[in-house]
Amino acid sequence: MNRPAPSPLNVVFLDRATISSGTRLREFNFPHTFRLHECTSPVQVADRIRGADIVITNKAPLSAAAIEQAGRLRMVGVAATGADIVDLAACRQRGVVVSNIRNYAVTTVVEHTVALIYALQRSIVPYHLAVRSGRWQEAAQFCFFDYPIRSVRGSTLGIIGDGVLGQAMARRAESLGMRVLFAGRKGRDKPGALYTPFEQTLAQMRDKLDATPWAIGRPLGAESGLRGWVDLVARELVLWDAAGGI
């Protein structure tokens, strides 16, 4: 839908509080008005975007109903990688451009995921809490083994999504001596030489419950076909969402 751009453009940021106060927002280089909200509940979205040409959101969801009421809306800027909070079909139907942030936080996301892998494989949090509760002092020989301590080296990491985050995570995992499996898209019998069929990957993960983390490097939108098994994996395996889309 081609519409002449009004001037100035009305820009609305729905949830500034979801981004660190230390993060500086760049000035827009076009005529505009700017309304900034620290947070927006789902029931407030439609009213706040009704007169907007550009909407920026991180966590506040944009439903089809809200988009329908935003007659001037031309663009949605998602201040994150995952765009599953936006009804993409509704935007597509109305000619609204949706733009997300790609290839950001690659180093920090990978480092954070590695930190979680070590914390969970070594049971660092349970041991920390146990020591604080006096378990160390209670042990007759000042040692106790109440929780499993597993090696990261030699364990298997299942990765869903082979984009920038997935590839970066794979490189770091391999440098730590982990075995990496890229899971093929669910339901595809022939995922390609670089992938392990989805169901086969899941089976291998379930066979190695004592040493098998999962990392999700892509948003879990409806088209991914992954939401149906997330609860199962989260119950039986070590699961991280490194894409922010669950």
Q: Check residue 210 and give its pLDDT.
A: 44
| pLDDT band at residue 164 under the 50/70/90 scheme | confident
Burial class (CB in 10 A: 0-12, 13-18, 19+), 6: exposed
The predicted structure's pLDDT at residue 95: 96
Is pLDDT at 129 greater than 60 in this prediction? yes
In the chain, the percentage of residues whose pLDDT exceeds 70 is: 72
Quick: pLDDT tens for 4-57: 666 799 999 999 999 998 988 889 999 999 999 999 999 999 999 999 999 999
The reported pLDDT for the residue numbered 234 is 43
Crossing angle of helices 106-121 and 164-175, rounded to 10°: 50
Judge whether residue 188 has pLDDT over 90.
no
pLDDT of 184 reads 64
pLDDT reported for residue 241? 52
Q: What is the pLDDT of residue 94?
A: 96
96 pLDDT tier (thresholds 50, 70, 90): very high
Mean pLDDT, range 92-106, rounded to an integer: 90
Q: How far apart are CA 230 and CA 237, in angstroms?
A: 10
pLDDT of residue 230: 45
Q: What is the mean pLDDT of the chain?
A: 81
**Mean pLDDT for the stretch of residues 197-226:** 54
pLDDT of 176 over the 50 cut: yes
Provide CB contacts within 8 A for 169, sequence distance 6+. Answer: 109, 110, 113, 157, 159, 215, 217, 242
**220 exposed, middle or buried (CB, 10 Å; 0-12, 13-18, 19+)?**
buried
β-strand partners of 36:
13
- Given this model, what pLDDT does residue 165 score? 84
pLDDT for residue 189 is more than 60: no
Per the listing, tokens 């979205």 go with 45
Residue 58 has pLDDT above 70, yes or no: yes
